Amino acid sequence: MGTFQQFLDDQKISPAVLLRRSRQLESQSSEDRVLKRKRSARRREKEGQQKPYAELGLGKPRSGRGLSEQQLTAAREDRPVSPRVRSKVVRAINALLTKNGGTPVDAKALFGEVAARVGPTTKKASS
């Protein structure tokens, strides 16, 4: 049994509850849609392209996609998952723990020595 599965068993967190909480946390709100529109408009403007998003007060919108069953299964079997999936798992776990009065945990405590999955590196051709 892997580190992550052991943690879920110790905390009595079911995979269905974890998936549902992740879906709730990652779902897009009207503010996220407005942020996406503003960021898109900033990319189209000539003057706006010089300024970073932070300077314009444009944070990152949520992705709108929670954890999938395949991603959660891979994490439970201690297979490497991408850093983005790890962060979604950590966010969902911490939301459940703080709701129940527990203390938040980090990715190292959840996944142990399992390395993050690294995809192929591609270099963009410069013109």
N-term to C-term CA, the chain:
50
For residue range 74-92, list pLDDT tens digits in order: 989 988 888 889 999 999 9
Helix/strand/coil (H, E, C) string of the chain?
A: CCHHHHHHHHHCCCHHHHHHHHHHHHCCCHHHHHHHHHHHHHHHCCCHHHCCHHHHCCCCCCCCCCCCHHHHHHHHCCCCCCHHHHHHHHHHHHHHHHHCCCCCCCHHHHHCCCCCCCCCCCCCCCC
Q: pTM for this structure?
A: 0.75
Of 26, 31, 29, the closest CA to residue 66 belongs to 26
Angle at which helices 15-26 and 83-99 pack, to 10 degrees? 100
- Residue at 88: amino acid letter: K
For residue range 2-60, list pLDDT tens digits in order: 788 998 999 999 999 999 999 999 998 899 899 999 888 888 888 767 788 888 888 88
Say if CB 117 and CB 80 are below 8 A apart: yes
Counting Cα atoms < 13 Å in the Cβ hemisphere of 31 gives: 7
pLDDT of residue 96: 93
Say if CB 4 and CB 75 are below 8 A apart: yes
pLDDT band at 116 (very low <50, low <70, confident <90, very high): confident
